Chain A
Amino acid sequence: MPSDTTFADKPSLDQSHFCADPEKTKLGAIDELRTEGPISSFWSDAWRALRRRPLFWISVFLIAALTMIALFPGIFTSESPTHCELGRSMDPSTSGHPLGFNRQGCDIWARVIYGARTSMTVGILSALFTALIGATVGQLAGYFGGWLDGILGRIVDIFYAVPIVLASVVVMQVFRDRATALSVVLVISLFAWTPVARVARGAAIEAKASDFVTASKALGLGKYAILLRHILPNSIAPIIVTATTSLGTFIVLEATLSFLGVGLPPSVLSWGHEIANAQVTVKTHISVLLYPAGALALTVLAFILLGDAVRDALDPKSATR
């Protein structure tokens, strides 16, 4: 700076040449690089966003508790859910039987506790299977496009058009009384994978058009390698979000099927059965209905909260303010 240069405090109204004092407005390096601070990969960023949300921790706590109940029901009650005495029918709560007894004289608390396993198994496995089927179909259709997309797309449309409860009712007839939790999972997965497939297809189409995929092609990477190494990792977030948010509905769906009597056989404990059986006494003893229904609602709520938190963390664009 030549010494005769003076720096005005403020640009004047006459619009003469003004220059800020370079001592006060220091120049940084061009294109400075931030080298301190934590590494921010997609997943670490998502985790940072997730752990700041109280709702996430509430849902995690609930789901952890429910998982414990599902795995080790014996810890939570010493009663056997199948030990029923008609003599105790509709008895109120007593010590050791906090919720009292239902019409058959079974301990309600024990039946609610033991029912958790079915709901958790069906919910989690269905979400897993729908994610697997949907991701595979959607990714292949979106990535390869052309006739494959045409065929897979129509298949998705067909399954999407089928009302899931109705279809499940019909298909469950195949199993009749041999139905297990796994057969319910299979039937749900068979009809519920289409939303995931659509999301996975969209994500594949978006990722396939990006320059980094073209760059990988120019590197000589094969088309399946590109699918596995670039397309899939970039689609996994929306797939996870869709699967988690629909997990709650799968739990409801199982309860619905069992309630209708086409789900699990009466020998398998399910909140759906409990609700169905409580119908008869709903006018006189509403609590018998409320306990299993409440447990069901709480479980579904926990998973929906988790799904919401995960969606906000993985897909910041859709985040609610």
Chain B
Amino acid sequence: MSPAKKDPLLEVRDLWVTFETSAGPLEAVRGANLCVYPGQTVAIVGESGSGKSTLAHSVIGLLPGTGKVTSGEIIFEGEDIAHASRKKMVEVRGARIGMVPQDPMSNLDPVWRIGRQVREALEANGIDPSRSTYQHLAEELAVHVADTEDGRLYLSTKGRAALLAEVASQGIDIEKLEEKLIPGFTTRMEATAFLRQAGVTDAENLAETHVTGGNAKDRVTGLLAEAGLPDAARRARQFPHEFSGGMRQRTLIAMGLAARPALLIADEPTSALDVTVQRQILDHLGNLTKGLDTATLLITHDLGLAAERAEHLVVMYRGEVVESGPSLTILKGPRHPYTQRLVAAAPSLSSRRMRANRITTVVENTHDGEQAPSSASSAVVGVSERKAGGGTGGRPKDLLVIDHLTKEFTIRGRTPGRKAATFKAVDDVSFTVPHGTTVALVGESGSGKSTVANIVLRLLEPTAGRVMFDGGDVAHLRGKDLFNFRHRVQPVFQDPYGSLDPMYSIYRTIEEPLRTHKIGTKKEREAKVRELLDHVALPASTMRRFPNELSGGQRQRVAVARALALDPEVVVCDEAVSALDVLVQAQILELLATLQADLGLTYLFITHDLAVVRKVSDWVCVMQTGKLVEQAATEEVFANPKTEYTQALLDAIPGGSLELALSG
């Protein structure tokens, strides 16, 4: 890699971006510098609020709301576009700088067919999708038009049919050719090559007669096929709601690259997708941009992913570029304390089970105006009563036994008289959770892992099979027994923004379980709330605050405190850290490990992220479409996966391949 010989495609010089807020101006980007060479992939890494997206959006002139470039230059293809006119930006956007947005769900218009939306991306950039002028010429002359870069001739649907018919008449098997010849995608040159491969004698002549350019529809199909969408011609006629998240993202990639821009900005292009899909799409995007010689500016919060995909890294922290350089150099020798922190916390790059070590530095700015929380009396139902149950040698008893669990859901919209169609969300799943350990349930969306969690919590009833907790069938619990069960098994949910009632103060939130179970007097409850806040390393002054004043990580701590209020034995963590930034995630995982050691907790940890699993769990159960496909001790699963699916999940961990490079 020696980019210095060319001129940079994009150069951002000392860029400042300011947002006007009601609380005064907010500097989102402060003096950022970065440069991208043609064909290069550069990643901007940072946590939420670091200004990485703002920087990317200022490049394409799409700053939201009150955002403004206050100083600095953005030089793209030799011109400063930071202060370019609107007209100029409209020209640049799409045509020279493409964009793949973050959320595939909301970025396609639900009322238009996919094909039409892709076509719009072509037409908006003044590209004549049918290349009619050029084709006209080719048809007139019937033979020789040079296959130059800006004058590619694509195969049309009609031409393809005629071509295949002629090849078939020569007695050659066309099955393989059918796959390779894609209308709107295969050029005359490529077609000639494919035909030669297939053993067609007059390949050149055939290609010249039949590959005379496709129409707009063909080109749209071709673009979708290029983005890796199978059966593109049929898919182009479908609507966004018929597409999965991965397919929508492929569509957006097709649109972003439709006009063949020199630079593609990919803003967290796969964050909303399952890990295995994420890998496929990033692989495909990587190959595609390489093939088209498009430079990519990749925005991500995942250092592992960034280092794996980009040659050059730009690390941002609080609006500033704190470190930049070649990916491997940064990973091997991070120099800025923030980058060092990131490298240390990246779950994909660490490989050991986290063991409890006392948290001392988690929240450094404990408020001193408040009474020290540690002095809270332990007279209340003591958390300390139940010390670690494991560690006495021998296998601890199984606290939870999931026994041939099956859950069917009725699909809506059944016709009367006919038997309702059912869908097996969980299919004959069995595993056990020993006391004092962490069992991880891993799978992608739709694998049924959350359904299992909800049955364990008895928020859902199983169709067949049972969940045994401490020797009793959970489904048979009624009245007082159920109430007592609630006392012992508590959940922590994924979404830190939805799991706390916005109307409740933190005190009321944590006190709610105590009040519901009529534990202690008002004073004792307050002492207990202080103690719990101390457990999750939040200052006692947090009590009077409301959820909207806390960050995602802090809310998740409060959710943990609420779950612990009743001194439960089992905590079910349903994607409890998935929505958090890497550093905060590491912090919460550490907290959970510490609590486990101190209180002898048993965790059922539901997650899609194998990298996290490695850090926290003793035993791993892998689920795929409702079935349990593999279970083993964590180290065993990572060292020696038994099924292809587990292997695929492991391969999909961002940065997994880098570890080898680093250690080797």
Contact = CB atoms under 8 A, between A and B. Distances in A.
Interface of A: 1, 5, 10-11, 13-20, 22, 25, 27-35, 39-42, 45, 210-212, 214-221, 225, 230, 233-234
Given A214-B493, A215-B499, A32 B548 contact: no
A30 B483 CA distance: 38
B336 A22 contact: yes
Given A35-B365, A211-B493, A211-B498, A15 B312 contact: yes
B363 interface: yes
A33 B554 contact: yes
B491 A18 contact: no
Q: Most chain-A Cβ atoms within 10 A of its Cβ — which of B34, B325, B542? A: B325
Interface stretch (B185-193, B209-217, B316-324): B316-324
B486 A18 contact: no
Contacts of B517: 219-220
A215 B365 contact: no
Q: What DSSP secondary structure best describes chain A's contact surface? A: loop
A15 B335 contact: no
A211 B321 contact: no
B317 A218 contact: no
A31 B338 contact: no
Nearest to A216: B512
A211 B364 contact: no
B321 A20 contact: yes
B513 interface: yes
B499 A212 contact: yes
Nearest to A222: B516
Interface string B468-507: 0000000000000011001101110111001111110100
B57 to A, nearest CB: 20
Interface stretch (B3-11, B106-114, B372-380, B398-406): B3-11
A66 B499 CA distance: 44
Which 5 pairs show the lowest CB-CB distances between chains A and B?
Answer: A17-B325, A220-B486, A211-B499, A19-B335, A29-B364
Contacts of B498: 210-212
Q: Most chain-A Cβ atoms within 10 A of its Cβ — which of B35, B317, B336, B482? A: B336
A20 B495 contact: no
Contacts of B503: 41-42, 230, 233-234
B33 interface: yes
Count class of interface residues, chain B: 35 or more
A215 B562 contact: yes
A230 B324 contact: no
B553 A31 contact: yes
Given A29-B363, A211-B498, A11 B542 contact: no
A210 B547 CA distance: 14
Q: What DSSP secondary structure best describes chain B's contact surface? A: mixed
Contacts of A234: 501-503
Given A27-B341, A211-B493, A19 B323 contact: yes
Contact of B486 (A11, A13, A219): A219
Nearest to B548: A40
Q: Most chain-A Cβ atoms within 10 A of its Cβ — which of B3, B323, B542? A: B323
A27 B337 contact: yes
B637 interface: no
Nearest to A210: B498
A211 B326 CA distance: 42
Contacts of B482: 220
Given A14-B4, A211-B495, A25 B325 contact: no
A282 B363 CA distance: 75
B35 A13 contact: yes
A284 B324 CA distance: 84
B326 A218 contact: no
Nearest to B498: A211
A29 B325 CA distance: 25
Given A11-B34, A42-B503, A18 B323 contact: yes
Nearest to A18: B324
Contacts of A39: 505, 544-546, 549
A219 B509 CA distance: 11
B542 A20 contact: no
Contact of A17 (B320, B330, B505, B541): B330
A32 B365 contact: yes
Nearest to B551: A31
B172 to A, nearest CB: 50
Given A13-B11, A13-B35, A35 B323 contact: no
Nearest to B495: A211
Contacts of A212: 498-501
A187 B329 CA distance: 78
Contacts of B33: 10-11
Contacts of A15: 3-4, 35, 37, 312, 324-326
A215 B335 contact: no
Contacts of A233: 501, 503
B452 interface: no
Nearest to A214: B459
A19 B486 CA distance: 52
B326 A219 contact: no
12 contacts: A15-B324, A16-B325, A17-B325, A25-B318, A31-B554, A31-B583, A35-B541, A40-B545, A40-B549, A214-B459, A215-B493, A218-B459
A299 B3 CA distance: 73
B323 A20 contact: yes
B169 to A, nearest CB: 56
Given A13-B8, A15-B312, A220 B542 contact: no
A119 to B, nearest CB: 34
A279 to B, nearest CB: 50
A45 B495 CA distance: 23
Q: Most chain-A Cβ atoms within 10 A of its Cβ — which of B335, B483, B517? A: B335
Q: Most chain-B Cβ atoms within 10 A of its Cβ — which of A25, A35, A233? A: A35
Interface string B31-45: 001110100000000
B516 A18 contact: no
B587 interface: yes
B121 interface: no
Contact of A30 (B318, B550, B587): B587
Given A1-B335, A41-B546, A233-B501, 5 more contacts: A13-B35, A19-B325, A25-B322, A29-B361, A211-B498
